[in-house]
Structure formats: structure tokens, C-alpha cells
Chain A
């Protein structure tokens, strides 16, 4: 294995594009190094991207939009009061990953590019309308987060391409988001089901909504029908029932040691109701 430290995105892309074997980018390493140590994936070229200028920064633009560097660990996101105020659901999803030690290293983009259907950092990025900047040998592009994962462990980036930043839109007034997951214990586990809800209010009425589910399909996915169930409502019982039904209907999970198909399908609806309630309260001004 060759260990490279790239000083720029161009250099990182050039190394990755020229590499002939298995290539991995190293930011927090909480997946890459586990896979390396357990001989699941041994890269021929490992490209440390933490020395690239700007990758450790969280920046709020003049228009209120956020750019999160690809080497920003979860712990730093959680310590950023303004980011937590604008996007509490995004931050709480990221902070659910692993232990305090893992939070000191793990990154949003690493969680996204690892391609796990159960990635806790991903659903709230989708509901936030987050995009990522991608550069590669053939130039740069902007990609919606929901277009990155394609299957368990698979993403849509091609050889030599890498993500260079995560972008969150400016936070509108009277809006809030939330992420919940089900695990059979309180910490240090992988989601059996995850659900993110992001919504915006006019008075008491939901005028925009987005719902995403994790761990109930080959990738985390947006559920437009669940969002439709919320829009126009005041989160009354009828809307919550319709939301839960739409969330459960969008599930195509697997049976495994962590949960059955029937359990996951039902819990998706339960979590959607609860996450919507939290997002609604936050949109009303409750703090995370």
C-alpha cells in the first residue's frame, strides 16, 4: 500500500486517476482503516486528503448557505452552535455515528461514500436538500446527495472522482429538521431504521416538507409520498397517520440479525411520526 498526502484536490484527483489498483481517500478513516485492518479492502493507493486547504472548515456564506469541508469530524460539527441552530437534524444524524472517539475522526462525506444503507449521516442531508461538489479528471460537477449512493457499498462517483465539499442551503425562517433512528440499545449501534424529516411552516401549516428513510432499502432514500402527506397539514392526527402509512409503504428492507422486514416496515412509520413532531417543534422555535 502506498500512502499519499495530497496538497490539493487536483493532486488527489491526479493520483486517483492514475492509480491502477484499489484506491481509497483517507479523511477520518473510521471505515477505511477498519476495512484495511480487517483485510476487507486493502488499498494499493491511500490518499490522505486532510492536508488540502479548507477541508477542515465549516463556512456560512453571506446568503446563509453552509459549506462543510470533507475532513470536518462529527465532533466539530456538534460544537458549531450556528450550524446546530440551522440544521439540528443534520448534526444529530452525524453525531449518532459511533463513539466519542469515532466522532473525533468520522466525517459526513466518509459516511456518504461508505455507501451503507444504514448511514446515520445521510438521510438528513437528503431532506436538507444538500449537494456535494465533485471533481475528477473530466472536470467538476454538483450532485444532489440522494444521487450519490446507488447500492449497498456502491456510489455513483467514477474513477478518479472525489467529493470536495458538502453544501447545505440557507435555512429558511420557521423551518426545522430532525433525525431519529431505532437501535435496540442506547449507543454504539447501527440503525435498524433511520428517518429524517425537514419541514417549513407558515403559521401552523406545513408548506414544505421532505422525508427520508435509512436502512429500509438498498440505499437511504427520499420518500416524496411521505412529504406530500405532511404538506398543507398542521401535523394533525390524520396527517401523521398518512405520513406513517407512506413511510412504511416506501420500505423494501431485508431481514437480518438486526431486524425483520415486518419490524423495519412498521418502525419506519413510527419514526417518521416522531421525527416529524420534533422537526415541527423546532420549526416553531424549540431548540435542539
Chain B
């Protein structure tokens, strides 16, 4: 079966890979690009662990084909921190202990970042609905919500 040559931009860097037609963007990021931050939880778009943004739009990378990323801009968890300086969301997740096993964390951070870019001052209800597609089996969600609200407040003050 012929492989597809894809040129795309990941976290600002131009990236090329060869993929099978049925390989997902998640597979391509992890296996061809070497970025293993996005996780495969369910593989069917229910859990959000594979969340990335595609041309700025939050998506499940398990429900995007690698071939579809041609010419697009992909942002993953690896692009969140600025060098050694953590993103406010990352810092607040640590401060609030908003994670335990950590599998869901990259997806939740990417999803939360997308929310705060669109809605810098969300209500708790808005945060909960926005993150409804990000499942976490450890925390019970409460600390995650508090960390996002706190990060949002800090980011509003800084801007």
C-alpha cells in the first residue's frame, strides 16, 4: 500500500512524515514525529487524551487522519511551555495537584488553553462543559476545574 507524504507544521516547526492512509494524526505525532505527549485513551473520540489543535481548532487527534494534516498547523502539549518556563496552566495544575496518573493531563491542558484563548473569563460551568470531553479517572475533576479557574485569573491579570 502506498504511503502518503505529509508536510505540516507542528508547534511552529515544519515537519514531514510518511503515513499509511488509515494512520491517525495521533499515530503520526507519536510514531513518526516522536511527540508522545498526546495520549491514546479510547481511540474513538470519547476521552480527549489525544487533544491537539488543528489550525487553532480543538480536536481529538485520534479522529483526524495523518494525511489530513497536510498544510495545517498542529499544536500539541510539547509546544505549551516556553523552554523551561511552564505555561500558567501547567504551573497551576502542579500547585493545585490537578493530576495523579497524568494520562489525561496533556489533553486537558491543550483543551483548557483553547478555552482561555476564546473565553479568558469563563464561569465554572463553562469550564466544566468545555472539558466534558476530557475524561479523568483519578482526580474527580474538582482540582482540575480550580486549576483552570486560577490560571485564567492569573492570565487575565498578566494581560
Chain A interface size, as a band, is: 20 to 34
- Tell me the bound Cα distance from A3 to B21 in angstroms: 6
For chain A, residues 188 to 224, give those with C-beta under 8 angstroms from any C-beta of chain B.
188
- Interface on A for B, CB 8 Å cutoff? 1-3, 26, 29-30, 33-34, 36-38, 42, 46, 48, 50, 73, 75, 98-102, 104-105, 186-188
Of the candidates B24, B57, B67, the one whose C-beta lies within 8 Å of that of A104 is B57
- Distance of B23 from chain A, by nearest CB (Å): 10
- Tell me the bound Cα distance from A284 to B87 in angstroms: 46
Are A3 and B63 in contact (CB-based, < 8 A)? no
- Given the contacts A34-B44, A37-B43, A75-B57, A98 and B24 also touching, CB distance less than 8 Å: no
Are A100 and B111 in contact (CB-based, < 8 A)? yes
Of the candidates B63, B65, B68, B130, the one whose C-beta lies within 8 Å of that of A34 is B63
Are A101 and B21 in contact (CB-based, < 8 A)? no
* Interface flags, B21-54, vs A, CB<8A=1, else 0: 1101000000000000000000111101001001
- How many residues on B have C-beta within 8 angstroms of the other chain's C-beta atoms? 31
Of the candidates A30, A46, A99, the one whose C-beta lies within 8 Å of that of B48 is A99
Inter-chain contacts of B132 with A (CB < 8 A)? 99-100, 186-188
Of the candidates A33, A99, A188, the one whose C-beta lies within 8 Å of that of B24 is A33
Report the 6 A-B pairs with minimum CB-CB distance, sorted nearest first: A99-B133, A3-B21, A187-B132, A104-B57, A101-B60, A104-B59
**Nearest B residue (CB) for A187:** B132
State whether the Cβ of B4 lies closer than 8 Å to any Cβ in chain A.
yes
For chain B, residues 112 to 149, give those with C-beta under 8 angstroms from any C-beta of chain A.
114-115, 129-134
- Distance of B21 from chain A, by nearest CB (Å): 4
- Tell me the bound Cα distance from A22 to B4 in angstroms: 21
Are B65 and A29 in contact (CB-based, < 8 A)? yes
